[in-house]
Structure 1
Amino acid sequence: MNLDFVAGPWGWIVAGLVLLGLELFAPGAFLMWLGLAAVVVGLATLAVDLPWQVAAVLFVVLASIFVLIGRRIAVRRATAEDDLRLNDRAARLVGLTFPLADAIEGGRGRIRVDDSSWGVEGPDLPAGTTIRVVGHDGARLKVVAA
């Protein structure tokens, strides 16, 4: 069996393109970096006749570097763009002000936020008083008079 194609530059390029194509079906931005490394090794082998052992070592080194760079980019983008409170509705209300729907009596009352009603804890205040959400304990909001 002739392994010149498999171990040669076109084998690396085809393997890289296959890995890049597989990224479409298994997203996670991992196969992409391996595919990119394989394509670069194929192009390097095309430019300079590298033995297959050197090409394999170059692939491992480039794949490791590309994966590390990709992870760093992904982490930086995730912390910059993602709202870490996206699924924590109570945490998203902290710092906002609302009028009391029901007076706070005995430390407990209610506010209306859009189309929902939230239980609140805080100092006794009459209905209609503007309050500021300062924290939460589960679904119960901690409030003070604004």
Structure 2
Amino acid sequence: MMENIVNMTPWHWLSIAVVMLVIEMMVGTVYMLWISFAAAVTAALLWVFGFGWEMQILVFTVVSILSVIAWHKYDLTRDKTSTRPNLNKRGHQYIGRTFQLSHAIENGVGKINVDDSTWKVRGNDAPVDTKVKVTGIEGTELIVEIIGA
């Protein structure tokens, strides 16, 4: 085992970097990315300077620790608020928009066409083609109010 560590080449370190990247893709924690980065840096420095196994381990360890700490500090300071908070909340994207009823609202329930889909709406009774504004959402039903009423 020790013989394998003593004879590490840049290709070994690049292989470690690739393995770490694959693990990162499966886990998705971001930290393995920086350990992979450290292995790639170690490979590059080993290729340029050709130092012994002790220095390789030291470089890998130091670069790993520094890059993970740097990422962690950056991650704490960055703004994590989304510029598109309703991206995965499809119905919430329609709040404030106006549409025409495709099916009359009868007994408080009707339908509107939104892009390529039909949404069930709740609101005051109104005939087909009445303009309505989406004011909220409950479950999969849009809450609407009649415009001009």
- Verify same fold: TM over 0.5: yes
Amino acid at match of 1:131: V
Aligned residues: 139
TM-score (norm 2): 0.63
Q: 1:116, 1:39 → 2: CA distance?
A: 49
Aligned to 1:16: 13
| C-alpha deviation, 1:63, in angstroms | 1.5
Aligned to 2:119: 118
Question: Residue 132 of structure 1: SS of its match in structure 2?
Answer: strand
Aligned to 2:100: 99
Amino acid at match of 1:120: V
Q: Over the residues paired in the alignment, what is the CA RMSD in angstroms? A: 3.9
TM-score (norm 1): 0.64
**Compared with structure 1, are the counterparts of its residues 13 and 69 closer, same or farther at alpha carbon in structure 2 (3 Å cutoff)?**
farther
Q: 2:35, 2:119 → 1: CA distance?
A: 49
Aligned to 1:141: 142
List gaps (5 residues or longer) in structure 2.
none
| C-alpha deviation, 1:96, in angstroms | 2.1
List gaps (5 residues or longer) in structure 1.
none
**Compared with structure 1, are the counterparts of its residues 85 and 35 closer, same or farther at alpha carbon in structure 2 (3 Å cutoff)?**
same
Amino acid at match of 1:139: T
Aligned to 2:5: 6
Q: Does 1:65 align with 2:66?
A: yes
Q: 1:18, 1:51 → 2: CA distance?
A: 16
Counterparts in 2 of 1:25-104, with a 5 A limit? Answer: 25-26=22-23, 27=25, 28=28, 31-42=32-43, 43=45, 47=49, 52=54, 55-67=56-68, 69=70, 83=84, 85-104=86-105
